[in-house]
């Protein structure tokens, strides 16, 4: 299977698509955001460091996330394809990644700005990695996957969201050009979860 990178603004649905891809192709879903949130919950040294950045909507330093991803990619389950979700987020991260991995495809999930705001403001997440939305949960706060209580990510608060979108424009959007130049970029115009996943599969099966 392929080594896949998912690009797209916060709230574009990367996590949802990554989970579907991981299941369909039986490859690990590697989300730096999930790894960092787990460390925050477990109050590790890494978690304490990451929290100060995440709560502001800023990026965790490149060296820190690059080390996390290098370690993760060296594990046995990542030797036959993987999906990277939320990494790389800067050109420096993409360059570091290119030294240790061959990325076969970068899927750029494109979503209108208004949709992103709507999604982030109603998003609920679970520590198990599941993501949902108030429109789907309809007042039910338990995770449909594992039954734990879902919560609002601290960094989904309106003031932090604005910062994250600025950071995306300045630091992460340039990766579109980076992967286009590498000849592996595929744009996906996202619609419903199902239709988007159909377009993703079509791109991956080529």
Residues that bind ligand AMP (CB under 6 A): 10, 32-33, 36, 53-54, 57-60, 65, 86-87, 89, 93, 155, 164
- Give the tokens for residue 105: 């495809």
**14 flagged as catalytic:** yes
Distances from the Cα of 65 to the Cα of 116, 147, 159, angstroms: 24, 30, 24
Q: What is the distance between the alpha carbons of residues 147 and 144, in angstroms, rounded to a whole number?
A: 6
Min separation Cβ 71 and ligand AMP, Å: 14
Please give the angle made by the CA atoms of 2, 170 and 15, to the nearest 5 degrees.
40
Which residue's CB atom is positioned nearest to ligand AMP? 33
Min separation Cβ 56 and ligand AMP, Å: 8
Of 14, 51, 119, 124, the active-site residue reads 14
Closer to ligand AMP by Cβ: residue 68 or 105: 68
Min separation Cβ 125 and ligand AMP, Å: 9
Distances from the Cα of 201 to the Cα of 40, 140, 180, angstroms: 33, 31, 19
Let me know how long the chain is. Answer: 206
Catalytic residues: 14, 89, 123, 153, 164
């Amino acid at each position: 299977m392929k080594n896949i990178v998912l690009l797209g603004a916060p709230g574009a649905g990367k996590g949802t698509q990554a989970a579907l891809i991981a299941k369909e192709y039986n490859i690990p879903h590697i989300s730096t955001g999930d790894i960092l949130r787990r460390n925050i919950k477990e109050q590790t040294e890494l978690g304490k460091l990451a929290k100060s950045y995440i709560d502001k909507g800023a990026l965790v330093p490149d060296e820190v996330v690059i080390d996390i991803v290098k370690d993760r990619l060296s594990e046995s389950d990542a030797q036959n394809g993987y999906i990277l979700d939320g990494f790389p987020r800067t050109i420096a991260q993409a360059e570091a990644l290119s030294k240790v991995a061959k990325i076969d495809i970068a899927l750029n999930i494109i979503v209108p700005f208004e949709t992103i705001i709507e999604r982030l403001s109603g998003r609920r997440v679970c520590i198990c990695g599941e993501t949902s939305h108030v429109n789907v949960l309809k007042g039910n706060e338990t995770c449909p996957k594992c039954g734990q209580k879902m919560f609002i990510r601290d960094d989904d608060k309106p003031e932090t969201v604005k910062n994250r979108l600025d950071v995306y424009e300045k630091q992460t959007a340039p990766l579109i050009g980076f992967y286009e130049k590498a000849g592996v970029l595929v744009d996906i115009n996202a619609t419903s979860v199902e239709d988007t996943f159909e377009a993703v599969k079509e791109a991956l099966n080529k």
